[in-house]
Amino acid sequence: MFTASPHRPDWNHLFKTAVGQEGLFTTRQAAEAGYSPQLLVHYVHRGRVARVLHGIYRLVHFPAVDHEELVAAWLWSDLVGVVSHQTALSLHGLSDALPSKVHLTLPLAWRKRRLRVPEGIVLHYADVSQQDRSWFEAVPITSPGRSLVDCAHDGLSPDLLQQAAQQAVRRGLVAKAQLDDVNEALKPFGERAA
């Protein structure tokens, strides 16, 4: 349960937090700006903020963004998740994969947690190093190479996996030497990445 901080609500503080997160903020971040859960509910009823997910809100007058669901998923993960797998491939512009859900990788230590996963999010567990991360707007995503490896291990369709790997090599995002896992996944289908 979050309690409001002892200081008065500070709209500027809340706004500054939300600006870096495409207009979204968490209940915890609101509390740090002096907003109790009750006051947030009041602002929802007044139309100043909108509830996006449990514990995640959006400033109503902040310009809408195309990938709000990515930011919401990242905030839901307490800023430790990394957008990954097919979702990351799509964000990197690799293959024709159009995932209907957000794939999010959480640290291995989170595997033991009992989580109420929001609809539209698929969880994976792994410790993603800093070198395997990049950014897409306001959220961390796995690098092209890491995304390909994750998809190879997760059983992405061979056509999409091969297409993504070939595009990544052609665009100079990965070297052929980095595609061992992808080639191993494609081997039963008589295919190679590049």
pLDDT score for 158? 95
Pairing of strands 102-106, 121-125: parallel
Which are the contacts of 11, defined by CB distance < 8 A and separation ≥ 6?
A: 33
pLDDT in tens, 48-100: 999 999 999 999 998 888 889 999 999 999 999 999 999 999 999 998 888 89
pTM higher than the cut 0.75: yes
Q: How confident is the model at residue 6 (pLDDT cuts 50, 70, 90)?
A: low
Q: Residue 51 is encoded by which pair of tokens?
A: 């509830």
Q: How confident is the model at residue 34 (pLDDT cuts 50, 70, 90)?
A: very high
Q: How confident is the model at residue 190 (pLDDT cuts 50, 70, 90)?
A: confident
Cα angle at 37 between 116 and 23, to 5 degrees? 80
pLDDT > 80? residue 4: no
Which are the contacts of 151, defined by CB distance < 8 A and separation ≥ 6?
A: 85, 86, 89, 160, 161, 164
What's the mean pLDDT when you consider all of the chain? Answer: 92
Is 120 in a helix, a strand, or coil? coil
Residue 50's CB is within 10 A of a number of other CB atoms, namely: 14
% of the chain at pLDDT higher than 90: 81
Is 23 in a helix, a strand, or coil? coil
With beta carbons less than 8 A apart as the criterion, state whether 67 and 99 touch: no
